[in-house]
Structure 1
Amino acid sequence: MKPKSKKYKCIIFDCDGVLVDSEPISNQVMVDLANQLGAYIDLEYAYMHFKGNSFNECANKISKLITQELPNDFEEQYRKESFKRFKNEIKPIDGVKDVLRDLTIPFCVASSGPMNKIKLNLELTGLSSFFQEKTIFSCYTIGKWKPDPAVFLWASRAMGFTIDECLVIEDSSIGIEAAVKGGFDVFGYTAHDYKGELHKKATNTFYHMNLLPELLKL
């Protein structure tokens, strides 16, 4: 796919893996909890099968790997442990602070995670000052998750821009699929593209945040 020859007026960032380096933490917690139930998976499996998916979809995948039912409080356990580890380990994606600081057009974040997780991780990584309540969009608020494009469509409308005026930044195949379904241009951040597939689906790709400003001039 080739990017449209125009400047964008609004950037819609995914959160996990694009703004904050949360994927290694959250996936390891999911692996640990799954293995306690007899799933016998590793972090590589999680990256291949969980990355970009909603919690419910990940839980469904785990349920098929074990012989018992998932505990009723499985999500509660996951959130508690992952939040604990976020507070001790999470960092911003390298270079993203500079990108956000230097952007001269409006931007927002649209994530599959719950609102409290998004806000917590933005705060822990020193990125919360770049966002306001009205520029944070969670799939949990509307009850629709990627690859459904609903969260991106909602974000573009709320920000006051048309689909053609917005650019989505994603790091997962599922997120890119959602953006494409919604009619958006989407740039794939490939630093953790474990399957090497984003370049086939995205409008453009880049491997480090310091490369994004140049791409935005296209």
Structure 2
Amino acid sequence: MGKYKCVIFDCDGVLVDSEALSNGVLAELANEHGADLNLESAIKLFKGGSVGSCISKIEKRIGKTLPESFESDYRRISFEIFKTEMKAIEGVSEVLQQLEIPFCVASSGPEEKIRLNLGVTGLLNQFEGKIFSCYTINTWKPDPAVFLWAAKTMGFSPDECLVIEDSFTGVTAAKAGGFDVFGFTQQDIYNELQGHATKTFNHMNQLLDLMYHRE
């Protein structure tokens, strides 16, 4: 048995394959205001950030304020796409079924989005009562507050928990809270996590072996 007593999963890019979908919508909407972003540059710019931080980055890039409707337009369009195109990360369902310790999800997204995406991908029933959203506490990564809240609610200290993240922002937040954090690098196209996360892995079927030192 390994040292960890609880696993805290990020949602986007870790449980559900949402990064290309959500960042594609952000790029398309931002480009209507002159941002000149393609999908790859959007992922690099926005990955792991709250919508508020993404809007700030777009406004800095275009040199003007976005319309007040920008976020609601983004939510409406992206939610419709999520309902038909969202998929679970390959292998994550099997990992959840095999985990013998408690686990939960802690995400920068609003709970409505988390529940939608977990529901569409068939994962929601495994996270009922264990969903922690930054919107609930109005504090976003890289602040570690959402991870600390999740750990405390689950009944564990940070050194008993393992965080699974796919973004530099998320890894930074976990480390700031005193957590070990494994970086999921399947979509880490800029190699931001190697040397920053406690360990890295690029397929979910490797996670349990890393946790229990079977590599």
Identical-residue share of aligned pairs (%): 59
User: Pick from 140, 154, 157: which aligns with 2:135?
Assistant: 140
The residue correspondences of 1:194-213 to structure 2 (distance < 5 A) are 194-213=189-208
Q: Which moved more, 1:5-14 or 1:169-178?
A: 5-14
Runs of 4+ aligned structure 1 residues displaced above 4 Å come to none
The residue correspondences of 1:17-166 to structure 2 (distance < 5 A) are 17-133=13-129, 135-166=130-161
Cα deviation for residue 68 of structure 1 reads 4.0
Task: Give TM-score, length-normalised by structure 1.
Answer: 0.95
Task: Give TM-score, length-normalised by structure 2.
Answer: 0.97
Give the residue type in structure 2 aligned to 1:127. L
Deviations 1:107-142 (A, max 9, x none): 000000000000000000000111112x10000000
Deviations 1:45-70 (A, max 9, x none): 11111000111110001012225420
Q: Which residue of 1 aligns with 2:162?
A: 167
Cα deviation for residue 44 of structure 1 reads 1.2
Cα deviation for residue 154 of structure 1 reads 0.3
Q: Which moved more, 1:45-54 or 1:26-35?
A: 45-54
Matched position secondary structure for 2:49: coil
Task: Judge conservation of contact 2:2–2:211 (CA < 8 Å) in 1.
Answer: no
RMSD: 1.1
The residue correspondences of 1:179-194 to structure 2 (distance < 5 A) are 179-194=174-189
Unpaired runs of 5+ residues, structure 1, are none
